[in-house]
Structure 1
Amino acid sequence: MESLLPHLLWGLLFLCADLTEGLTITSKQGMETKAQGEKITLFCQYTLTAQDNSPLDIEWFKVEPNEEKAVILYNERVYDTYLMAGRVQFVNQNPAAGDASIEISNLKVADTGTYQCKVKTFPGIETYRVQLAVFEKPSRTQCHVEGLHEVGNDLTLKCKSQEGAALINYHWKKIGGTEELPARSSLNEVTGELLVKNASQVFSGVYKCVASNRVGTDECSVVLNITPSTNRAGTVAGAVIGTLLGLLLLAFFIFCCCKKQREKKYEKEVHHDIREDVPPPKSRASTAHSYIGSNRSSLGSMSPSNMDGYTKTQYNKVPSEDFERTSPQNPNFQPPKVAAPNLSRMGAIPVMIPAQSKDGSIV
């Protein structure tokens, strides 16, 4: 009896409403949450009385802060070329039969808002509102591991969704084996990071990350293979030695190139060097002319008696340079003096030379 009492009370209320007000919307929906790309049905069911015999008018609006945008209308026919053209329709092909519910497909984040159903028939008018929230579910989730996959190292398994509404939670789990996370691990559900300290080979396996929000989930997986640690000291030493050898080879190559360049430059300078301090060779013609001139000046200072020996000399023969180089020259040699009578007989013309003082002035 107690369970039937609430139903009887609701029945009495609806009956009173029918007798007093006539038109009544019976749907009670409240808040609806959906994912982007899905579809939803917004309910608007109503009842009529015998007094509601005038033409029926049904209107769906999206209520904005300062205005109402039409979504779909019915007044003896359907009008759906408004805000969501092509994505909205009445669930019942005849909305006048008591069901004005609509279906919206391919939901978008921009569809989030408050929707109002208004049913009008003289003399009654009833309205009903429902809240719709459209979110983007996680997608394009990627997993990877940071750190060396060696025993004793600290590793971080990372998980991140490239798309999706805010407030995404991340959860890691191991696939196969015990399916439990390592005891020395810690999870950050907000960032999706799973920190594993002092890894051992028993941690090897496949790990899956699940990203979820209020409208959907997405997941990814990664393989963790822990291997024995390597000799890091030997690896570092080998790398250092290899680097030094490479630097030495590079330095030797640069040295050889510079040396070869200097040798080429030196050969080029020696090849084009012109020595200007070497005098040109003496010509035989100039030697001959100087020799003949000197003999003529000597003949001019001799008397006819002294020229008998020179008349027999052949002047057309030019002495060689060897003779000039080997002929001795006496620094104390003085040419013979010729007396004035002899000079007159030889045709010389006397010339008076003015006397000069010691400072060079004419007396």
Structure 2
Amino acid sequence: MDFTISHLFCALITLIAVVARALEITSQGSTSIEMASGQSVMLDCQFTLATEDSGPLDIEWSLLASDNQKEDKVVILYSGDRAYEDYYPAVKGRVHFNSADPKNGDASINLTMLKSSDTGTYQCKVKKAPGIRSRKMLLTVMVKPSRPRCYAEGPTQEGKDVVLRCVSVEGTSPLQYTWEKTSDTKLLPASAMLDTAGGTMNIRNASNSYSGTYRCTAKNRVGMEECVLQLSITPPPNTAGIIAGAIIAVLLALIIIAIILFCCCRARHRKKYEKEISYEIREDVPPPKSRVSTARSFTSMGSHRSSLGSMSPSNMHEYTPKLQYDKIPSVEDYDRPPSQAPLPPPVAGRMGAPNLSRMGGIPVMIPAQNRDGSIV
């Protein structure tokens, strides 16, 4: 019984000694690396083999998942004396082994053109039966600050509070901003208050001596950028002059508007007056010619009727007019004097009293007249 226990104890010691002389990773560098985007990094993984490690050599680099529910991503693999670099599409073409023959003890890899998405924990696992070892490294890819923009917020007048701002759009936090004056005494104003995290500098009760060139620097652990601002403190504006000028401008505008309205009203009144005058009948304008002719014709017709009234039945047939309703008298007929008026055509036969009574007419006694129209 004691012999058996002693043999088991010796076997355990021998196994521990064999394992101690087996595969080992000898890299002693930092396991946390911070790099800037766009740069390259080497993830170190050196190892040694023992004579007892007789199996095939396998080297595997993987990106460990931050969530235990997800699988790890194999980045690059060496197996059967061959390297496989197309496992992870996110780093395809940007990762390769540092040594052309990793089995000589160098399992390190180079990762180029770093991106912020490359941030994570990488594990180097070396296997050669019966030995197996691994090493983890945390890689943080930081983005250096972009070129900041410097500007003054609000009015830059004497006696006012001036705010200078410095903003960098890109950059991995934390970012730190610093202000400095690069002209004259190169001293910041005594009333200046700096905000290194927000990038602002407040200057109270600014004066002309605060004018000059200022520089702002934005930096983090992987880089820095800067911008320059030219600050000019101006005297306060002449308020009284501005008010007087505004009043004069308003008065001139009102005068111009009044002149325009007066001209428009006057032109409108003149147009209306001319339109009314054009419809009035002036006394010095002679009446139309047709009206005069019509009046004369009525006068001549009246005199003709009077002459007819003095005629006897014996000669009445000579002056009996034969009306024509289908003929309209012309203007020349009205303008012709009574002496030149055409005589009516003679009647074919005389109409006696019997005939006149037969036709329904009433005989009238007409005094006898001579040719001159006087009563005989």
Same fold (TM over 0.5): yes
Q: Which residue of 2 aligns with 1:50?
A: 51
Structure 1, residues 314-338: CA drift from partner, whole Å, max 9, x if none?
xx94279xxxxxxxxxxxxxxxxxx
Indicate if the aligned counterparts of 2:18 and 2:52 stay in contact, CA closer than 8 A. Answer: no
In the alignment, structure 2 segments of 5+ residues that lack a partner are 1-15, 320-335, 341-351, 363-376
Change (3 A) 1:290 1:234: closer
Q: Which residue of 2 aligns with 1:23?
A: 23
Change (3 A) 1:172 1:22: same
Aligned positions of 1:53-92 closer than 5 A: 53-64=54-65, 65=67, 66-75=70-79, 76-83=81-88, 84-92=91-99
Cα offset for 1:165? 2.4
Cα offset for 1:294? 6.2
Indicate if the aligned counterparts of 2:150 and 2:164 stay in contact, CA closer than 8 A. Answer: yes
Indicate if the aligned counterparts of 1:17 and 1:24 stay in contact, CA closer than 8 A. Answer: no
The equivalent position to 1:291 in structure 2, one of 294, 300, 303, is: 300
Q: Which residue of 1 aligns with 2:163?
A: 156
Indicate if the aligned counterparts of 1:87 and 1:106 stay in contact, CA closer than 8 A. Answer: yes
Aligned positions of 1:299-314 closer than 5 A: 299-300=308-309, 303=312
- Tell me the matched-pair count: 306
Change (3 A) 1:352 1:85: closer
Q: Distance in 1 between matches of 2:339 and 2:162?
A: 109
Are positions 1:141 and 2:148 aligned together? yes
Give the 3-state SS of the residue equivalent to 1:110 in structure 2: helix
Indicate if the aligned counterparts of 1:139 and 1:161 stay in contact, CA closer than 8 A. Answer: yes
Q: Distance in 1 between matches of 2:248 and 2:277?
A: 45
Q: Distance in 2 between matches of 1:178 and 1:284?
A: 113
Q: Which residue of 2 aligns with 1:205?
A: 212
Cα offset for 1:108? 0.5
Cα offset for 1:251? 5.0
Indicate if the aligned counterparts of 2:177 and 2:198 stay in contact, CA closer than 8 A. Answer: yes
Q: Which residue of 1 aligns with 2:191?
A: 184
Q: Which residue of 1 aligns with 2:325?
A: none
Change (3 A) 1:94 1:263: farther
Q: Distance in 1 between matches of 2:123 and 2:257?
A: 80
In the alignment, structure 1 segments of 5+ residues that lack a partner are 1-15, 311-315, 321-343, 354-363
Q: Distance in 2 between matches of 1:352 and 1:271?
A: 57
Cα offset for 1:142? 0.6
What letter is aligned with 2:77? L
Q: Distance in 1 between matches of 2:18 and 2:42?
A: 26
Cα offset for 1:133? 1.6
Q: Distance in 2 between matches of 1:176 and 1:292?
A: 120
Question: Which deviates more, 152-161 or 19-28?
Answer: 19-28
Aligned positions of 1:1-363 closer than 5 A: 19-20=19-20, 22-28=22-28, 29-64=30-65, 65=67, 66-75=70-79, 76-83=81-88, 84-253=91-260, 255-256=262-263, 258-259=264-265, 262=268, 266=272, 269=275, 281-282=290-291, 284=293, 287-288=296-297, 291-292=300-301, 295-296=304-305, 299-300=308-309, 303=312, 317-318=337-338, 349=357
Change (3 A) 1:82 1:228: same
Indicate if the aligned counterparts of 2:192 and 2:204 stay in contact, CA closer than 8 A. Answer: yes
Indicate if the aligned counterparts of 2:122 and 2:139 stay in contact, CA closer than 8 A. Answer: yes
